[in-house]
Structure 1
Amino acid sequence: MTTAILLENIHPSAAARLGEASLTVERRSGALAGDELRQALSSHDLVGIRSATHLRADDIRSAPDLLSIGCFCIGTSQVDLDAATAAGIPVFNAPFSNTRSVAELVVSEAVMLLRKIPEKNALAHAGKWAKGASGAFEARGKTIAIVGYGNIGSQVGVLAESMGMRVVYYDVLARLSLGSARAAGTLEEAVSQADVVTLHVPATARTRNMINADVLARFKPGAILINASRGTVVDIDALAAALRDKRLGGAAIDVFPEEPKTNNDPFASPLQQLPNVLLTPHIGGSTEEAQENIGTEVAAKLLNFLNTGGTIGAVNFPEVDPGPLHAPARLLNIHSNAPGALAALNTLLAQDGVNINGQHLQTRGHTGYVVTDLDRVPSDALMGALRAHAGFVRSRLLVR
């Protein structure tokens, strides 16, 4: 029986979707690491994680029977994708399901910071009445710079523009603008004209500390910074210094370079105790709607791979969409992307007397993936020969 383990309080919609397909599903409330993580990986066919569980190369290599990994979130930086690919394990995520939730948080934080709500809220809780308009502004007519104009960034732009904001964006890729948004040629050009700067970029070597002291010095005096992307994108010490020196008007930070593994672990940041800062515990996509949609989306991708071999939406794998299985059997073969791999596969099939009804092949980097529909179930000897072949990474058989 196929089994799955879902960690980190993944929404029940995922377990329900997998359960409908007759999988045995184990759910855990927190993240796992070390031996406990490896034991979970080695004893299940599918694993679902969010952002706190990190699957490193050694973890992945310790689970040779693991079929697929589901990241029930947008990012996949918590998984060693190269190791997963080398092991023949496709990784799926949900790049769109929490777009609206993050975008709404960002725009609402921009409004609160422009109106100086964090400071006034703290004073009111302390029994002080600080009524006044000084330093408080409408969002209408202000410029928001969106760094990273992908799914979330472009949605932020749509919401911001609907409130009367002027939208500029910077992205390393050429992006089609929505509404009246205008592209900036450089990061510095984007931030230098903005009243609000919001970040929506992945965690890569290129984006690490991209918002550093030099870039912060290019911000307009009194500008606001919002980061709901990845914690490594902002030099937190440099940001804290800019806020203490009142060169910036405020900040809203939802992600941090180091985050607690569980809600019971302590949280510390140089930004604590600064009155013009909103700190939230990585909740950009944490709405009931988003989590339900993510659970359904990623579970559906895992089931599609499990039942058909389809890899559409995999972040690390050749994408193949073979459709439902109508032939007596379907062979899923992952191989090194080298000359002769497909010929070797088809020769072994011919030697076993198996005829090919249909075949789908795609390659990506060093990996090839071929899905072959067969006129009969191949012999155990053939499957053994495939799994022993030096050029093949993994072979799996589906039977109708």
Structure 2
Amino acid sequence: MKVLLLENVHAVARETFTRHGFDVEVRAGSLAEPELIEALQGVDVVGIRSNTKITAAVLDAAPDLRAIGCFCIGTNQVDLAHATLRGVGVFNAPFSNTRSVVELVLGEILALARRLPEKTQRMHDGVWDKSAKGAYETRGRTLGIVGYGNIGTQLSNVAEAIGMRVAFFDTADRLAHGNARRMGSLEELLEESDVVSLHVDGRPGNAGLFGAEQFARMRPGAVFINASRGMVVDDLALREHILSGHLSGAAIDVFPVEPKAQGDLFESPLRGLDNVILTPHVGGSTEEAQEEIGTFVSTKLTAYVLTGATSLSVNLPDVAPAPREGAFRMALLHRNVPGVLAAINNTLAAAGVNIVGQSLATRGEHGYVVTDTDRLVSDETLASLRHVAEAVNLEAWSDDAE
């Protein structure tokens, strides 16, 4: 089986696939849709980060593709609904780089409070500007966290540890950590916070979440940080509020349009502004986080492709089957309607095949069943199962295949 890894996925992923007998191709950058379609011919598994877009057109043009690994937190770069319709499993690393993002944001909070970006630039320019003007301690100031998930809650904990007060807003019902206060609305949070840090996901409803109206609501002299998704923020509006002096600084790690490859030209209306930190989408880019992500996602992908396990899949029902008990295993993704399991079992019984183990789970509109049998299932019987009315995709494993 063939694996294609894009966007500088950590070398440990390649090692994992190679150890399991996969043929691995590695490319440094992301690929635009036409090049991606060409590259995916004959590929069983593709590994990407945030810049590669797996659209419905890409999925339709990649008939051999069985699994997608997002070596990052987000999966909004993948058409998940269409991947499910095509029977392609999608996996990501929802927790592996949490600490790395939190440490970057904490460092930015401290740096912006002391106006370090402009101080260090003036020193490099040969200007000695020893002044306390505009420099503050973070102790006792309020950090407003928008999005209180894995990253938001850990940031909440470390911010309290350095003496900050924490407020948060989330549309989901989240348990407050420590002394953090839940705000009833985003507007309320903006009006109370000295620092606002975004940690929302990439769902379409979050596009344009933060614009001129929200920046205007922020406290005069406040700081803004975005380490979530580029499409969430209107960078032109942010520029105007920095230039006007309404905001005292910002740190931005993600952008609506990002260069495709290392060394490509980066364009942004935020370039050249005092007390603004711009980083090239490196929130989770530490050696520790990238190695952990590489190990986690590649392990999930190999388990799925080699055994049918879908544990922690983004788009498929969660099934963690026991080690194969018989001579043959098959996994059927199907529409979640009554009678599918009976149809599978009746088809096997009619063929004289005995079931020795079976695991089933459903998720929304789909179900997923892994079945072990005491002997090989004939091609004719497999064809019958593939033509079960509600079947989406069927994969099979046998000792012969291994």
Q: TM-score, normalised by structure 1?
A: 0.97
Residue in 2 that maps onto 1:52: 51
Contact 1:15 1:25 in 2 (8 A): yes
Residue in 1 that maps onto 2:366: 367
Contact 2:325 2:357 in 1 (8 A): no
What SS does the corresponding residue of 1:42 show, helix, strand or coil? coil
Contact 1:4 1:45 in 2 (8 A): yes
Residue in 1 that maps onto 2:10: 11
What SS does the corresponding residue of 1:217 show, helix, strand or coil? helix
Counterpart CA distance in 2 for 1:271 and 1:29 is 27
Are 1:75 and 2:80 matched, yes or no?
no
Share of identical aligned residues, percent? 52
Counterpart CA distance in 1 for 2:331 and 2:131 is 67
Deviation by residue 1:99-138 (Cα, 9 ceiling, x = unmatched) = 1110000000000000011111121122111111111011
Contact 2:28 2:261 in 1 (8 A): no
Residue in 1 that maps onto 2:352: 353
Counterpart CA distance in 1 for 2:262 and 2:372 is 48
Are 1:151 and 2:150 matched, yes or no?
yes
Q: Between Structure 1 and Structure 2, how many residues are aligned?
A: 399
- Partner amino acid, structure 2, of 1:189: E
Q: Which runs of 5+ in 1 are unaligned?
A: none
Contact 2:329 2:398 in 1 (8 A): yes
Deviation by residue 1:243-289 (Cα, 9 ceiling, x = unmatched) = 11110010000000111111232111111111121111101111111
Counterpart CA distance in 2 for 1:244 and 1:300 is 47
Residue in 2 that maps onto 1:106: 105
What SS does the corresponding residue of 1:362 show, helix, strand or coil? strand
- Partner amino acid, structure 2, of 1:247: H
Alpha-carbon distance, 1:390 to partner: 4.0
Residue in 1 that maps onto 2:244: 245
Are 1:167 and 2:166 matched, yes or no?
yes
Residue in 2 that maps onto 1:117: 116
1:251-400 aligned within 5 A = 251-400=250-399
Counterpart CA distance in 2 for 1:84 and 1:94 is 18
- Partner amino acid, structure 1, of 2:374: D
What SS does the corresponding residue of 2:206 show, helix, strand or coil? coil
Contact 1:308 1:323 in 2 (8 A): no
Q: TM-score, normalised by structure 2?
A: 0.97
- Partner amino acid, structure 2, of 1:78: Q
Alpha-carbon distance, 1:313 to partner: 0.8
Counterpart CA distance in 1 for 2:362 and 2:40 is 27
Counterpart CA distance in 1 for 2:325 and 2:385 is 23
What SS does the corresponding residue of 1:140 show, helix, strand or coil? coil
Counterpart CA distance in 2 for 1:210 and 1:226 is 14
Residue in 2 that maps onto 1:220: 219
Q: Which moved more, 1:96-105 or 1:121-130?
A: 121-130
Contact 1:122 1:275 in 2 (8 A): no
Deviation by residue 1:49-90 (Cα, 9 ceiling, x = unmatched) = 011111100101112221110000000011010110100111
The alignment yields a C-alpha RMSD, in angstroms, of 1.2
- Partner amino acid, structure 1, of 2:332: N
- Partner amino acid, structure 2, of 1:395: L
Counterpart CA distance in 2 for 1:328 and 1:214 is 63
